Structure 1
Amino acid sequence: MSLFHDDNHEYFNMERLEEAARDAMANCSLIQRCREGDRSAAIAHMRGFWPFTRDFEKAIDRRANSSNLPREPLYAKFGRNKTRETLLGSAKSIRNLLDSEIAGVFEEARASLIEMQKDEYRHSKHWEADARNLGISYEVLQSEPATPLIQRLIDETGNGDLVEFFARSLASTEFIAETAGETLAHAPAYTQLFARKRSIWMEVHTVPHDGEPSHEEIVMDFARAYDDSGSPERIEKLVLQGIAMFAAAADEVEAHYNHVLAVAAE
């Protein structure tokens, strides 16, 4: 796939950003309790982050679709041919990534079935299915209110500054999702909590990309394309801010559901 830039790994310190996400997960009490098989923590995580998982996907559909992105700044910077080639390539790559993630988990799936039931394989559907396998009813999940910091994460997906949108909202989400998958997808104490003994949402974030750019690479490339600073510093700082926001939101979710679940148990 053609990106706007072919030197993103040299331009950005991707290892630093990946390490920041790993540190956030390692120091997150909620995630570590999940890893250790704490059912109440897993329920809190599923319920607490559901409003963001649902609304984040809507934001991607609405704002990051290539047909909805402003093209004039890209035409001015890269020319019409390069811009069109890259926008078409990014859409194709994201579709290919989705299919490869699905195939990696559902090896028996056929391409026609994937196409027919694409909505079922969307990440929010994985989250819903995992919640159901954890004993959380559809009605409970859908009625979950967003805590203040979860709402802030949701609000960030509407940021009008495209550099901030791609970096602080999208890229940080992708770094966190990949790291959460690394942490929990194959943690036996965690997966044993689910009726099917696996968390599909976590698994799809661990499947190799087979030579295609990862979601992180794609959104970092777009952030750079819309950025006029000529320096990686602003974008990397925004990603780190987003990662910190997720860490703070996880602490808030943990505290909130510690109370909610304790009251429900009385």
Structure 2
Amino acid sequence: MTESVLVLAPHPDDEVVGFSALIGRARETGTRIAILWLTDGIPAAELLWPWQRGRRTLRVATRTAEAHAAAKLLGAEAIGPLPIPTRRLKDDFAIARQAVADALLRLRPASMWVPAYEGGHQDHDVASFLAAGFRHQVSVFEAPLYNFAGSRINSQRFIDSESGTIVTLTQEEQGRKRQQLAAYGSERGNLDYVRCDHEALRPQAAYDYSMPPHPGRTFYQRFQWVPFRHPRIDFTTPAEVCDVLKGLDAIGSGGMEIACPGERQKCGLP
């Protein structure tokens, strides 16, 4: 039976940022890869400029087409994206949890890969919490994408140390990763922090999700000094995210194979 891996990508492009070479090397061993995008990658309409709101559906369609093109380059099965706006994963947590449960039931993967809890984006941190709830069902591994620990931008580097398996990309792998990143034409200019020389993977750490991932500002807080609500700036604080995760944990957010037909239909799942 062919071994499989389920990659949880909070947004379309995260699968390339964190897992490009890792996916390529897994596929070389015959492993089947499936990517589940947990959000559509576009802010909710009310967060956009008024003149952008009517084009949100088109922007989602563009980002989805890019995601499927990237998945084809990666040689991976595409699942989604789920109909959840970026920065709203914590609000639509039940939908994402059900989609993960369904994917695990169908694919029976040997492991699940997810971004680390590092404050790069609030959706990344919620995805880490989501994956942790399924650790009783599947082995969970994590990769660093980007963070602002130590008040500097760090790419593909765990906050605590260069722990885990460090993968040094060959010139060919670096070229493939750049090609995959280029598939996300709508994100051109937003991915220039991504390093293409190495990636890392390790078993998911045991995090205290009631606490921010590191002291000081997180990556997504860097521009919160702007005195007006800009669509590209996330004004959420890590404390607010932690409060939501504590609430989810209190009501039991583990990876139960819940059966909610209404939520399944909303996800566009059978």
What is the TM-score when the length of structure 2 is the normalising length? 0.26
The structure in which a higher percent of residues are helix is 1
Q: Flag the structure with larger Rg.
A: 1
The structure in which a higher percent of residues are strand is 2
Structure number with greater CO (CA < 8 Å, separation at least 6) is: 1
